[in-house]
Amino acid sequence: MTDLVKQWIREDIRSLAAYHVPDPGDMIKLDAMENPYLWPESMKQQWLSQLADIPVNRYPDPSAATLTSRIEQVMNVPEGMSTILGNGSDELIQIICMALSKQDAKSDSVVMAPEPTFVMYQMIARFTNMVYQGIPLDQDFQLDMPAMIKAIETHWPAVIFLAYPNNPTGNLFSEQDIRSIIEMAPGLVVVDEAYHAFAGHSFMPMLSEYDNLLVMRTVSKMGLAGLRLGMLSGRPEWINEFDKVRLPYNINVLTQFSAEFALQHDDILQQQTAQICADRTILKDALSGMDSVTQYPSAANFILFKVDNMSSEAIFSALKQSGILIKRLADTSGPLANCLRVTVGSAEENQAFIESLGKILS
């Protein structure tokens, strides 16, 4: 059997490890940047009563036209731009790479991104036979513009992904730096605004300024992570080509209905977002009061930090023993060495985290 697998599965795929998601069990889950809040009971009951009439025996609308229109309205997509929906942002990244991969070309198709960043840019580039070029951020986790400019001139990337705010660092890059990259890029620039709700700034209004700019978002961080719904907006000429690669019926009927219903109650989602932003400030202040903790600026719903006199593995394990799951960054060297990432949870969850961390450090 092993020989048969080696014969038919690509060697680069066999060398990869599957994306691992730990089982949280009964722990307080602060590792995945999820919104900790459920819907109000009245909203939940209204959703359930309408859910019973969804025709699950029928295929969904293949274009998800009603949901697309609603999400464009809520997300303030500029007039004249188009939007394609994906089964999470991951599928949209895959669609972009599939459409841009030129395996018969004389030179490789290149995916570029500053690092550290969202791991799926690199993974999907490899899945789709593209070449990935990561460009290290500077010591403040900002774009190293001389390095970016040189890399763009050298590698002539088909697409550059810029997470804004960046994951896992949490910070916003300079707007002028991003504009400079868009203006000099030979191919597409995708600004990934997965955490836009918490950031207070967006490149969505700038879509009409640039022919090669796309903006990607997800509703996951708005409390709808279980629906797996992402959006990609930009000029129709790009979106029409990507739509040819999208699998039919990629947004199932339950997701289409539930997302549209949730977005009709956008005021509730915005209230939850405002609460998370307020709790982020409280969490930042609490971490600032711990002498051995270094935290980094965040415009997202998580905070990157490290403890000066303890290993990240020791902190991670001790928190896990106390019933709290956060994210330990795997890097053993470089700017993320010894770093951990904690999601902003509910007030009670944040307090439990701070109290447990305080005991560990005492």
Dihedral (CA of 47, 52, 53, 54) sign:
positive
The H or E element spanning position 114 is: strand 110-115
For residue 105, the model assigns a pLDDT of 56
For residue 227, the model assigns a pLDDT of 95
For residue 360, the model assigns a pLDDT of 96
Q: What percent of the chain has pLDDT over 90?
A: 86
Residue 106 scores a pLDDT above 60: no
State how far Cα 221 lies from the chain centre.
Answer: 9
Separation of alpha carbons 156 and 295, rounded Å:
35
Separation of alpha carbons 252 and 274, rounded Å:
29
Residue 11 scores a pLDDT above 90: no
What is the mean predicted confidence (pLDDT) over 317-342? 90
User: What's the whole-number average pLDDT of the chain?
Assistant: 94
What Cα–Cα distance (Å) separates residue 355 from each residue in 193, 213, 249, 323, 324?
32, 44, 46, 12, 11
32 DSSP assignment: S
Q: Domain-by-domain residue ranges, the chain?
A: 2-40+267-361, 55-265
Q: What is the pLDDT of residues 41-54, one digit of tens each?
A: 999 999 999 999 99
Contact predicate 181/206, CB 8 Å: no
CATH 3.40.640.10 fits 55-265, yes or no: yes
CA angle 24/26/30 to nearest 5° reads 50
Q: What is the pLDDT of residues 52-70, one digit of tens each?
A: 999 999 999 999 999 999 9
9 DSSP assignment: S
Task: Label residue 16 by pLDDT band (50, 70, 90).
Answer: confident
What is the mean predicted confidence (pLDDT) over 352-362? 95
| Amino acid sitting at position 218 | T
* CATH class for the domain made up of 2-40+267-361: alpha beta
For residue 22, the model assigns a pLDDT of 76
Helix axis angle for 65-74 and 253-263, nearest 10°, is: 30
Separation of alpha carbons 287 and 293, rounded Å:
7
CB atoms within 10 A of CB 285: 10
User: Backbone phi, then psi, for 43, in 5-degree steps?
Assistant: -65, -40
